Each structure stands twice: as C-alpha cells, then as structure tokens.
Amino acid sequence: MSHQTVIVLDFGGQYNQLIARRVREQGVYCEVRPYTTPVASLKALRPIGIIFTGGPGSVYDPAAPQADPELFRLGVPILGICYGCQLLAQNLGGRVAPAQGGAAREYGKTETFFDTDCRLFRGLPAGSATWMSHGDYMEKVPEGFRLTARSAACPNVAISDEARGFYGVQFHPEVNHTEHGAAIIRNFLYEVCGARGGWTMGDYKETAVRRLREKIGDGKVLLALSGGVDSSVAAALLAEAVGRQLTCVFVDHGLMRLREGDEVEAAFSGRDVRFIRVNAAERFLSRLSGVTEPESKRKIIGEEFIRVFEAEAKKIGRVDYLAQGTIYPDVIESGAGDAAVIKSHHNVGGLPGCVDFKEIVEPLRLLFKDEVRALGRELGLPEHLVSRQPFPGPGLAIRCVGEVTGEKLDMLRRADFIFRDEIARAGLAGSMDQYFAVLTNMRSVGVMGDGRTYDYALALRSVTTSDFMTADWARIPYEVLDRVSVRVVNEVPHINRVLYDITSKPPATIEYE
C-alpha cells in the first residue's frame, strides 16, 4: 500500500523521535533522517512535509548542525521546532542571538498566546501552556514571516510564512506538557501538508514483510530471542517473512528473573520455529566479575551475547543475518548522530565493532513500544505476550547496582518476585507499565531479632508511560508497599531496608543502570 511520508530531520535533540511518534499517532507515516542526509535522497521519498527537530546547539555557532539551503527550495512545507525554528529563521534572513538577562530565555511550562488565524494554531484556545527549553531567541524575524505566538518573556514564540508553508515554534509540541501539542502537529499535517492519514500497523506489517523478503532472499537468519515483547514480535514478523529460514536462539545468561528462562522456553516450544536454548550463566558472570561501571556492564554483556550467537551460528551451519528486536528508544538512548549517549543498550551501543555475520537485521528499529505491541496483535501473537512488561536485555545485571555476584542475584530475584507477586495479588498489574526491584549498592544499619544488622537496601521502581521515552512514577497504595516491605525483609536474607523510587523520567531513566 502506498502512503504519504513526512520526514523528521534530526538535528541532535535527545527526544526527537517523540516527534515521529506524534506524527504516526495522527495516522501519517514518517521517517527520521539525520540532517546530513543528501537533499536528493530526501526528495526521492516524495515527502508531503518536513519537520526540523530541536537540538543542543546554537544556530550561530559554526560547529552546530546546519540545514542544506536546498531544503527551502523543494516546495515542501516545513515546521521548525525549537532549534529547528531558529534554524529556519537564520537561513531565511532572520537573526538568532543569545537571550540577555533572562529576557526571551524560557525553560519549562510557559503560558503562551496564539494567533488562531494561523493554520498551525487553528482551533486552539487563545492561550494555553507550552513546554519551552531555549536560551537563544529570534532577534530578527525573516522577511515575509509574521509573528503568530508570544509569551510574557518572549514576543517571538512562533513565526509563519503561510504562502510558502514555513512555520517555526520555539516550544516543543511533541511533549505532553504542551497542552495542545497534538493539535498543533495535526494542523501541520492536515491543514498545511494536506495529509490523508490512514497509515496503520497493518501497513507497516505488509511493508516490513516485503522488505525482509527482499533483503534476506534465501539467506538464513538467527534471531536473538529474549522472550520479551520486542524480540517475540520480531520473531513473529521474521517467521511470516522467511519461515523456516529463521532460527531463534535464547541465551539464558543467568541474569533472568525467577524461573523466567523456563517460562521463555515453554512459550516458544510449541511454535513452528526452530528454538535453541543456550545456558551461559557461568560465562556471563565470569566476564562481569569485578565490574561495577554501568556502561562497562552493558558493553560486556552486548559483546558476550554476540560471541554466543556466533558460536551457535557455527553449530547451525551457514547463517547470514543476525536479527534483533531493537526498537526506537534503544537507539535514541544509545546515542545517534549528534545526540548524547544516555546509556548503551546491549543490542545497539553495546555491540562490538566486528561481528561475524553478513548484516544485522532490526525490523522494529523504527517503532515505539506501543507500536510494537500493536504490530504483535496484527501478527496474531497472544495478548499475554504482547502486553508483557519490558525486561532489559542485560537483565538483572543493570538492576544490581555495583558488582554482580551470584549471591546478590539470588537476593534480587527473590525480592523482585515478591514485589511482582504482591502487585498481582492487589490487582494492580494492569495499572502500571513497568515495575521491578533494584538491589542498591548501599548498606545501612538495621535491627532484626534484637541484633544489629548491616545489610542492603532494596529499591522498588514502578512507572506509567505510553512510549517509554518519558514516564511518571506509579502511585502504589501504601498498604501494598507495606506488604512488599514486610515480606522482603522477612523472606530475603541480607536486605534490611526497602525504598520506593518516586522519580519521573526525565530526570531519571526507568532502569538504574
């Protein structure tokens, strides 16, 4: 099925793919491309619109990412967001400068006033809250543009040249804190770009299956299967595309939750795929011995995964491709282009420089978590598998702060099971998107059985989120937390304190390491 395309041009902001998510939520297909993509390549995609993302730089800095002037001559509508807005202004005859003395500099939630005659703000109230994050401002507006939004601190919050279809906003419509952000993006897509909508996960499935068949041909594929949502959906998609050319290898690295390895094997044993379980706990724990730095852990685990897969591929015979369930948040947080590295995911930034496969195949790389779940339903996967909460590839190694040992893993497994068990007993599992226990590296004094203890503190983490790019901490009833705490300190040796994490993302990440 042919569909319209919007290009999100990435200038290095950390959460730029949220823009892509918001576009897709409006039923319009989009692709994120780095700002260095040749204009001819972008033109070949026949986009109906282009969105310039935010970024950490200042447009007047010669080292900052710049836009090819040819973009403005394509005859395609452009929406610039934050840095993208300033880039638009600077390239078309305006001037951007540092905000002086706090004037025009804005961070956080800001009351903003709109010119609702502008197509971008049509149907919006005259004023509402937007989310700002800029230390520069448009000192001079380009000729042909008019001001279409303002705030108390900054008169130049939004600009538009409606004749050419060029729009710029200093705030971030893609984040939930901007009250009518979705409506602004929808207006750009439908009022400005003439989008028809109608793009669905059914479309994505058809396109992905066709592209996988074209890429793989008669080659053999080895899928790194964890049993989680992402790799399970990747397995179903690849099975539909190439059938028995696929082999799923589940590496039990000894870092799984209680009895989880057996559950994964049971879930896939009855399916029409070749399933191999590799018990490699001793190998992984040996490599992690003495390692405390989180990035080092992730990179060691990533490399060791690859080496195990390479060894299994040799046993199988000819294997051309390694497939993974990598999704967009993995790619973003691992750093791409000019974006900062938040943490290297074992299947992205944790990969070694050289792998013994023709190519790595990642059919879900452009999807967010909710899109992956929707695709899983399109592929006919059971709901209990599609709705399963995420579990990181490095497993409990990144929920065990500091050095990973067998003893600490046993403590964490038991405590994590108690937490999940009490959440299930309370009927709360469906009200939160991810919940787990973390064994901190902090030890503190306690009193148990009239004696002094000096043992570990356990942190409980639970969040609600729609995309895992941002998240809020879940409001678990006190009585449930109390039952978890009582059970943990009574049933798990060497834990004498239980804490509940009430930090959102950002500033924290969902996982601890």
Active site residue 172: yes
Helix axes 201-216, 229-242, angle to 10 degrees: 60
Backbone angles phi, psi at 151, to 5 degrees: -135, 180
Q: Which amino acid is at 184?
A: I
Phi/psi at 366 (5° precision): -100, 10
Do the bridges between strand 274-279 and strand 246-252 make them parallel or antiparallel, or are there none, so unpaired?
A: parallel
What residues are paired with 111 via a beta bridge? Answer: 129
Let me know if 82 is a catalytic residue.
yes
CB 115 within 8 A of CB 121: yes
Q: How many CB atoms lie within 10 A of CB 263?
A: 12
As a whole number of Å, the end-to-end CA separation of the chain is 41
Radius of gyration of the chain (CA): 25
**DSSP track, 423-450:** HHHTT-GGG-SEEEEEEEEEEEEEEETT
Give dist(CA 312, CA 398) in Å, integer. 25
Prior bond of 77 cis (ω within 30°): no
Angle between helices 281-288 and 294-316 (to 10 degrees): 150
Q: Are strands 146-151 and 5-10 parallel, antiparallel or unpaired?
A: unpaired
Catalytic hit among 30, 106, 118, 174: 174
List CB contacts of 266: < 8 A, sequence separation 6 or more.
none
The pairing of strands 158-161 and 166-169 is antiparallel
Instruction: Provide the angle, in degrees to the nearest 10, between the axes of the packed helices 369-378 and 201-216.
Output: 80
Distance, in Å, from the CA atom of 231 to the CA atom of 225, rounded to the nearest integer, reads 5
Which one of 82, 118, 248, 400 is the catalytic residue? 82
C-alpha distances in Å from residue 18, one per residue of 21, 52, 182, 183, 227: 5, 13, 11, 15, 26
Beta bridge pairs of residue 458: 439, 498
66 by Cβ neighbours in 10 Å (0-12 / 13-18 / 19+) ranks as middle
Q: Which of 106, 118, 134, 172 is catalytic?
A: 172
Catalytic positions, please? 82, 172, 174
